[in-house]
A and B are shown apart, each in its own frame.
Chain A
Amino acid sequence: EPEVTQTPSHQVTQMGQEVILRCVPISNHLYFYWYRQILGQKVEFLVSFYNNEISEKSEIFDDQFSVERPDGSNFTLKIRSTKLEDSAMYFCASSEGTVSIPQHFGDGTRLSIL
């Protein structure tokens, strides 16, 4: 069964540094998402992306965050200047977009900010 793949599985970064989290969605999917889960808390929506533009973003997704689909297969989340509170598990998800098809999640990237 096709999978959403995320790299790296764990990223350790100094506060203030830029970080890029990478995702390869399922190939025929059209809608892409990033979610965040701070340790011990619920999964929170960050941003959705369709047709090469952001379709929705949450309050968490401020100017420090950006997303890109640079080459038709990868979907990246960039955090420009990381803060301690950005430490979390970041999940990429994709879907075909039709109502009968749920979002498929990658295994996540654990981001640790020192």
Chain B
Amino acid sequence: AQTVTQSQPEMSVQEAETVTLSCTYDTSESDYYLFWYKQPPSRQMILVIRQEAYKQQNATENRFSVNFQKAAKSFSLKISDSQLGDAAMYFCAYGRGAQKLVFGQGTRLTINP
């Protein structure tokens, strides 16, 4: 069974600084997708970024980028120029095609002004 692990329950960063959230996963599959979802206090689940496992190039969305290390089964999220609105719970998730998403335990990110 696939598992996703986020080893940092909480992280904090100064506004405008850069922060990296860690995620590792376990799978025997070679074709899959990885996602980072953001959950603000309103508790919506908002897709931040996704990475296709077959792509070597790391995904980037504006201030958000990932470091995908397939051999190490590592998928970290880097947030550059952190903003107060980035404060949220961040969940790493694994998925294949139309199958269920498997989520990590989440990392609560605090932005200090």
Chain A binding surface, main DSSP class: strand
Q: Assess the A108–B43 pair: CB atoms within 8 A.
A: yes
In the bound complex, CA of A8 to CA of B93 (Å): 26
- Name the A residues within 8 Å of B64 (CB-CB): none
Interface residues of A in 2-51 (CB under 8 A from B): 30-31, 33, 35, 37, 41-45, 48, 50
Q: Assess the A31–B98 pair: CB atoms within 8 A.
A: yes
Sorting the interface of chain A by its residue count into under 10, 10 to 19, 20 to 34 or 35 or more gives: 20 to 34
Contacts A42-B91, A91-B45, A102-B47; A97 near B106 (Cβ below 8 A): no
Total residue contacts A-B, CB cutoff 8 A = 63
CB nearest to B101 among chain A residues: A103
Q: How far is the CB of B18 from chain A (nearest CB, A)?
A: 25
Q: How far is the CB of A73 from chain B (nearest CB, A)?
A: 19
Q: Mark A40-80, 1 if CB is under 8 A from B, else 0.
A: 01111100101000011010000000000000000000000
- Name the A residues within 8 Å of B45 (CB-CB): 43, 91, 93, 105, 108
- Name the B residues within 8 Å of A31 (CB-CB): 98
Q: Assess the A107–B42 pair: CB atoms within 8 A.
A: yes
- Name the B residues within 8 Å of A37 (CB-CB): 43
- Name the A residues within 8 Å of B102 (CB-CB): 45
Q: Assess the B100–A45 pair: CB atoms within 8 A.
A: yes
- Name the B residues within 8 Å of A91 (CB-CB): 45
CB within 8 Å of B: which residues of A?
A: 30-31, 33, 35, 37, 41-45, 48, 50, 55-56, 58, 89, 91, 93, 95, 97-100, 102-105, 107-108, 110
